[in-house]
């Protein structure tokens, strides 16, 4: 059965591969699983049909027949468990890979995404500059610890895993800043993830859907 991924019809990421459906596309490409994409408008995302898939009216959502999931981390975990290649066989290494999935989404992503929202939604607010400094200090603390852990290794814990996939997608939100300039090993880590053929295929697919959804009506 070919799964269906629900994504933005008009993605706010501007075709840069930053929307969270990119994580699912990348995971599916890594495991060689074909998939279909359902593109939704912002209005359609709040309608009952989509709310039945995703109770918060967001993307991504994922369906295999009558089985449905929401939340990008949960979907990536499902794909990794079902197909095997994104999680190590060794039980201890497997648990560490899952740990890094949680670290990406719970420890690193919150301040990174808050910075994104602050730059978009609060840029005219009088507190914008001071809030941005607080968020960027927090991000630098997290990235600094991550750099110390990574050292000269290619990936977080042995071979590439779902933990790396999620961590790279989170860190890519910093590509438009100068933060990673101070952490060359982390910048190189992100670049390695982006260079993977599966990432390139997923990026091309998301960009094609962005261009399709953003094309003017005939």
Tell me the per-residue pLDDT of 101-135, one tens digit each, with 9 for 90 and over. Answer: 999 999 999 999 999 888 888 878 888 889 889 99
Alpha carbon separation from 176 to 13, 16, 81 (Å, rounded) = 12, 10, 33
Pick the closest to residue 109 from 148, 150, 86, 139 (CA basis). 139
14-31: average pLDDT: 95
Mean pLDDT of the chain: 94
Long-range contacts of 13-19 (CB under 8 A, 24+ apart): 13/210, 14/210, 15/206, 15/207, 15/210, 15/211, 15/214, 17/172, 17/202, 17/203, 17/206, 17/207, 18/172, 18/173, 19/59, 19/206
- Structure pTM? 0.94
pLDDT recorded at residue 217: 42
């Amino acid at each position: 059965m070919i799964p269906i991924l629900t994504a933005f019809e008009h993605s706010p990421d501007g075709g840069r591969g930053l929307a969270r459906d990119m994580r699912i596309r990348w995971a599916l490409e890594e495991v060689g699983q074909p998939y279909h994409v359902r593109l939704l408008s912002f209005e359609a995302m709040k309608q009952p049909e989509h709310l039945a898939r995703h109770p918060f009216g967001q993307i991504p959502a994922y369906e295999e027949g009558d089985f449905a999931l929401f939340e990008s981390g949960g979907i990536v975990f499902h794909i990794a468990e079902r197909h095997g290649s994104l999680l190590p066989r060794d039980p201890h290494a497997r648990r560490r890979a899952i740990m890094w999935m949680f670290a990406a989404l719970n420890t690193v992503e919150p301040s990174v995404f808050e910075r994104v929202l602050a730059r978009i939604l609060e840029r005219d607010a009088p507190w914008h500059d001071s809030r941005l400094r607080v968020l960027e200090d927090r991000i630098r603390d997290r990235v600094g610890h991550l750099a110390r852990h990574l050292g000269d290794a290619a990936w977080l814990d042995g071979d590439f895993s779902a933990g790396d996939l999620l961590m790279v997608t989170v860190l890519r939100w910093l590509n438009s800043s100068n933060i990673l300039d101070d952490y060359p090993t982390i910048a190189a880590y992100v670049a390695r993830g982006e260079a993977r053929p599966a990432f390139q295929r997923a990026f091309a697919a998301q960009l094609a859907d962005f261009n399709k959804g953003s094309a003017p009506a005939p």
